[in-house]
Amino acid sequence: MLDIEKVAQLQKNLMNEKEVVRSRLEDALIRLTGQDVSSVPTAHLIKLCRRESDDLHDDGFRLERIDAALCAIHTGLFGYCADCEEPISINDLLNDPAEPRCFECRTRNHYYHELAPSN
């Protein structure tokens, strides 16, 4: 199971990645719409990405997963599969702390979408 220090480090990594992805999305949406979206809440930013451009889908999807992982940390559900509620392996979480599913559920869940590697 995850110890407090590891969760804190993963949370920090997620928050840093969220800033990078959000900034990239804000810049792209400003170019597309001409409107400043820097004060738009994350949930609305994700919706704008889906509405404005298919090119922003991957970043919008990633931001949604990061936001969900940060919420799971705050609620004490981080590291548990969103489908079966069993623990997600530490290696999977170290590989991608925003991973919402265990390996077994990922491989049989038809809703799972493989994303391009993060920067």
Q: What is the pLDDT of residue 114?
A: 53
Q: What is the pLDDT of residue 119?
A: 45
Domain ranges for the chain: 4-108
Is pLDDT above 50 for 116?
no
In whole angstroms, what is the distance from residue 67 CA to residue 14 CA?
8
Angle between helices 57-75 and 4-33 (to 10 degrees): 150
Is pLDDT above 90 for 33?
no
In whole angstroms, what is the distance from residue 102 CA to residue 81 CA?
5
* CATH code linked to domain 4-108: 1.20.120.910
In whole angstroms, what is the distance from residue 69 CA to residue 74 CA?
9
Six token digits for residue 47: 């919706």
Instruction: Count, in order, helices (H) and strands (E) of the chain.
Output: 5, 0
Six token digits for residue 40: 């738009």
Q: What digits encode the pLDDT tens for the residues 97-114?
A: 999 999 999 888 655 445
Q: What is the pLDDT of residue 27?
A: 93
Is pLDDT above 90 for 42?
yes
Q: What digits encode the pLDDT tens for the residues 68-101?
A: 999 999 999 999 999 999 999 999 999 999 999 9
Contact criterion met (CB below 8 Å) for 57 and 25: no
Q: What percent of the chain has pLDDT over 90?
A: 69
